[in-house]
Amino acid sequence: VSRHYVLASRALFGTGEKRVLKAVRNVDFDIYQSENFGIVGESGCGKSTLMRLLTALEKPDTGAITFEGTDIFAQNAAGLRAYRRKLQLVLQDPFNSLPPRSAIGAIIGEPLIIHGLASSGKAMRARVLEVMGEVGLPKELYEELPSTLTASQRQRVNVGRALILEPKVILMDETLSALGQTEQGQLLDLFERLQIQHNLTYIYISHDIAMVRRVCARVAVMYLGEVVELAHNERLFFDPGHPYSKALLSAAPTLEERRYNAADCLLEGEPPSPINLPVGCAFASRCPKAFDRCRVESPVLQDRGGIDRAACHLLDIVPATPQEIPA
């Protein structure tokens, strides 16, 4: 089985004002083929920056992002273009992202032109219709304008635009956030079918914890530009290792089956400025469990068994004894 993975590590950014904005740092993880990987955190946690790194819109100051074993920035322009084709992005907000005066068929086919993959008009039309069928858009919509479509159909157009390039990875950045529960469910079913059919890997970047709980096999929890916990689904939702993860999960109203005491970990206050990061643990100013060591020493990610890791000094005190996780 060929596995590809994306690995980002220790990226630093400079701001225009000579101050160092550490938008993302100490980020180091693998993503495996055909998995659903989730990235969660509050706004400003570095999710967007991580997305820009993964899509090669930004280059890390240090460290590397590798895809199928190749450092994506260490290849020539053609290699980088090929990578960008393999990793497609589907954003939130279907209402503003489609050009209002273009027909649906032209919108879905456009990436083929951009990437120089367009053949004859007839072949392109056939390919667009094929993709429309795959994403559940009736072929009658080929000549229609975006304004005649529902929000869910518009999002299917965006997925079609991504799919037409035959990507290996689709990065879903709050893709379903603007949709109602029913449409979300229908699109998640569609994503699952497409995943099986095309061996796709999905990266879900979202603040919607319940959605991530439903679909992601592994999840990275980010706080102030760092991954503070990396865990598989059951472990994270039943036995989170980081106080911030607990707080984040506690704030999600639809998670009923949690094992820990949600009242212990209410999330209060604002995160500190990423321009002036505090010494020690970045979460200390909001952590109900903070103690002296937290204000002088930064915790590093440590193993909690298997592939699960969390960055908190408490893990040195309370031995990591995994609770029994229901099947």
Specify which residues 204 forms β-bridges with.
38, 172
Choice between 141 and 228, CB closer to Mg ion: 228
**Residue 313 lies near ligand SF4 (rule: CB under 6 A):** yes
Taking CB within 5 to 8 Å according to partner kind, which of ligand SF4, Mg ion, none is near residue 27?
Answer: none
CA angle 137, 143, 148 (to 5 degrees): 65
Mode of pairing for the β-strands spanning 66-67 and 20-21: unpaired
**CA 143 to mean position of chain CA atoms:** 33
Helix/strand/coil (H, E, C) string of 71-138? EHHHCCHHHHHHHHHHEEEEECCHHHHCCCCCCHHHHHHHHHHHCCCCCCHHHHHHHHHHHHHHCCCC
**Residue 48 lies near Mg ion (rule: CB under 5 A):** yes
What DSSP string describes 132-192? Answer: HHHTT--GGGGG--GGGS-HHHHHHHHHHHHHTT--SEEEEESTTTTS-HHHHHHHHHHHH
Among 51, 219, 284, 301, binds ligand SF4 (CB under 6 A): 284
CA angle 283, 54, 47 (to 5 degrees): 30
Choice between 135 and 282, CB closer to Mg ion: 282
Asked if 309 and 315 count as a contact pair (C-beta separation under 8 A), the reply is no
Taking CB within 5 to 8 Å according to partner kind, which of ligand SF4, Mg ion, none is near residue 146?
Answer: none
**Residue 304 lies near ligand SF4 (rule: CB under 6 A):** no
Taking CB within 5 to 8 Å according to partner kind, which of ligand SF4, Mg ion, none is near residue 312?
Answer: ligand SF4
Choice between 137 and 219, CB closer to Mg ion: 219
**Residue 281 lies near ligand SF4 (rule: CB under 6 A):** yes
**Residue 177 lies near Mg ion (rule: CB under 5 A):** no
The size of the interface with ligand SF4 (CB under 6 A), counted in residues, is 13
Taking CB within 5 to 8 Å according to partner kind, which of Mg ion, ligand SF4, none is near residue 48?
Answer: Mg ion
Minimum CB separation of residue 219 from ligand SF4 in Å reads 17
**Is 308 exposed, middle or buried, given 0-12, 13-18 or 19+ CB atoms closer than 10 A?**
buried
Residue with tokens 């200390």: 284
Q: Which stretch binds ligand SF4 (CB under 6 A): 12-20, 147-155, 268-276, 286-294?
A: 286-294
**Residue 312 lies near ligand SF4 (rule: CB under 6 A):** yes
Among 41, 109, 146, 299, binds ligand SF4 (CB under 6 A): 299
Specify which residues 48 forms β-bridges with.
none
Contact positions vs ligand SF4 (CB under 6 A): 242-243, 281, 283-284, 287, 289-290, 294, 299, 312-314
Contact positions vs Mg ion (CB under 5 A): 47-48
